[in-house]
Amino acid sequence: MCSTGGGLSIIWLIRHAAHEVINGIPYVVLYTTSAVGDGFINMATFIISYQILIPLSLYITVELIKLGQLYFLNHDLEMYDEMTDKRILCRSFTIAEELGQIQYILSDKTGTLTENKMVFKYCAINGRSYEPSLMSPMSENSFANRSVDEDEPVEVNEALRQALPRVADDHSESQASAVYYFFLNLAICNTVMVANQKYDQINNGYMEGEAFRISNSLFYLRPNDYPPTEPSTPAGRSGRSTNIQTPSSSRLVSILNPADIVRRLSSLNISSLFRKEEKIKLKSKKQLKIYEAESPDEYCLVNAAKSYGFNLAGRDLTHVSVNLPTQREYPHQRRLKLRVEKVLKFDSNRKRMSVILDMGDNRKLLLCKGADDEILANLCQKTLEQNLEAKKVVESSKVFLKQYSRNGLRTLCMAMKTMSNEEYNRWEVQHEVTILKVSCIENSDTPDQDEQISQSYRRLETNLKFLGLTAIEDRLQDGVEETISSLRKAGIQIWVLTGDKKDTAINIAKSCQLFDSQTEICACNTEEDLINLSSFPGKYNVAFSSPIVKLLEAGNPTAIAAIQKASAVLCYRMTPSEKETVVKTVKKHLKGKVLAVGDGANDVPMIQSADVGIGISGQEGLQAVMASDFALARFKFLKKLLLVHGHWFYYRLANVLLYFLYKNAMFVFVLYWAQFYSGFSANGIMDP
């Protein structure tokens, strides 16, 4: 526009011989002696006049609009979860409008679609499945640091529980040995710690009898300063410590304030504390035992072992203690204390963890738990070939694995291995050499380092003896089915990425309405499966694992075409790194806005790789929330976040942008068209 105006100005001045007119042309200002010079000056004037076409004020206006929209989002009561007392948290102010452009949602399963509150349902030992007895007490476990003494036991098989005391006393027989070491595995093969008080109570303070304890300090209150107490507890529970509840009285707050306690104590006559008649006597209190677990799965298994009588009593760096079931009356339990030689931590490549114990008599015991495919692949094949009974147990257990998986239950296999001290020492020397080599690598965070350590663990976790398996239920969150159904109707393709095995993952996909009953389910493992899928008529749901992920990452056109045609996608047996790869692949090859949602630390790479990251504030810490753009308390809130707030974010900002462009263009084009009637002199037709 400016160049056109400048060129037409030169033509107009030459045609009208403006520089040759003696008194000049009225209202036409000449700055030079040539038409070309004045034309360039007029062009510069046009640039100044037309600069309003660039909506500089739009930047500030858009930021203010985003701020207002996020205010309404933060105060949406329908996105507040009363159970957890958490609302939506907006951690990014720059991508709100992208919520209305999402084409792909990639979601974790455990803790995101499910409650992540594990319930122990079944176990299979020696090829026999043990289901809860009809008369067994029922409960739902929760991961929130439940006390060991709670009156909500796990559903147990009464016949098995009654037989365990005899098994614990004499487990020399083969079948009894498998049962004994199975429950010992449940209780020991984990990282669960046993504490007397919850971590937050230790920091905030709690009442212990007639004293107030905070951290490592103990304070005694004067009798008239004691807070009001609850009525006496029923018999058999009078020994529990009383936790401080949030007081309603300001006086009670002052009494229990640590700083106020110190002030009060400093004002006392110290010598009076040592008078015999005023000496405070503390009664012996029975301490609570709290399980502090890193994951809900570990807590669930330890709590299940406790319900069967194998009670984890304590753990430190070198030893672990377990109370064994006994035929004698409680509290005279027989305690087993074992030295822990090594803990082979869980990693997503091995998909298992192990604990090595010193059993004495020149023996070491390795207890291992993990994914069924990894455990079964590392069993002692020689034993299975020679012992038909052991082979029959494994085959029966495989049947139970399929049965539990089809019911949507999470399965874990238990195994063990006994070795001599010499065999363990040889491995330990090799492992130390591996650690030394790894420590010499300049970049200590390289993937090759973790792989070398994992390979060292694998060398020991071979020739295992199969013990049994467990089945754990993880229920879906409320509203997940309706949310996924609504998002699919909105045209969004939903992917679920899970580490579960195929049968379990497909069952959960059906339960949460990811896979509907009207659409065919196609499982793909090879490129040939994808080629056959491309000729499939109509829509379909697809399920695949790592091999197809590698094809997608490589940009295989057949794989990409098959995935684009799918109604929904399920990826099973996914590691955290593979989840990240899937997100990056979808962004690169499917060309659409990608949203990733997860709840745990293993979901952080996936969340950070997506265009929009959603963190669910669940049971596994706040790592996902801290890495996300938006934090939700429940998956069901995603429906309103995208379909309501996301829609309005995008719609409002798009309309504001169009309005500003229209407003500025209208003003500028009035000036532009007026130049055809003013000799392109760059004169304004409106007073400034």
**Which residue numbers are catalytic?**
108
User: Kind and range of the H or E element at 63?
Assistant: helix 57-74
Q: Encoding tokens for residue 573?
A: 């047996």
The single residue listed with the structure tokens 């009078």 is 238
Tell me how far CA of residue 321 lies from CA of 10, 162, 163, 186, in angstroms.
97, 22, 22, 13
Q: For residues 580 and 348, what is the distance between their CA atoms, to the nearest angstrom?
A: 14
The single residue listed with the structure tokens 């045209």 is 491
Q: For residues 374 and 679, what is the distance between their CA atoms, to the nearest angstrom?
A: 85
Q: Quick check: helix, strand or coil at residue 236?
A: coil
User: Kind and range of the H or E element at 220?
Assistant: strand 217-220
The single residue listed with the structure tokens 């539990």 is 404
Q: For residues 264 and 262, what is the distance between their CA atoms, to the nearest angstrom?
A: 5
The single residue listed with the structure tokens 């010598």 is 271
Picking from 484, 506, 475, 482, the residue whose alpha carbon sits closest to that of residue 570 is 506
Decide: 357 and 340 in contact? Cβ < 8 Å. Answer: yes
Decide: 246 and 227 in contact? Cβ < 8 Å. Answer: no
Q: Parallel, antiparallel, or unpaired: how do β-strands 520-524 and 540-544 relate?
A: parallel
- CB neighbours (10 Å) of residue 654? 12
Q: For residues 152 and 43, what is the distance between their CA atoms, to the nearest angstrom?
A: 84
Q: Encoding tokens for residue 485?
A: 């159904």
Q: For residues 526 and 548, what is the distance between their CA atoms, to the nearest angstrom?
A: 7
Q: Encoding tokens for residue 346?
A: 């869980």
Could you list the beta-strand ranges (E) of 503-611. Answer: 520-524, 540-544, 568-571, 593-598
Query: Which positions ≥6 away from 350 have C-beta within 8 Å?
Result: 370, 374, 454, 457, 458, 461
Q: Quick check: helix, strand or coil at residue 320?
A: strand
Decide: 191 and 301 in contact? Cβ < 8 Å. Answer: no
Asked whether the CA dihedral 220, 224, 230, 231 is positive or negative, the reply is: positive
- CB neighbours (10 Å) of residue 512? 23
- Amino acid in the structure at residue 59: Y
User: Kind and range of the H or E element at 89?
Assistant: strand 89-90
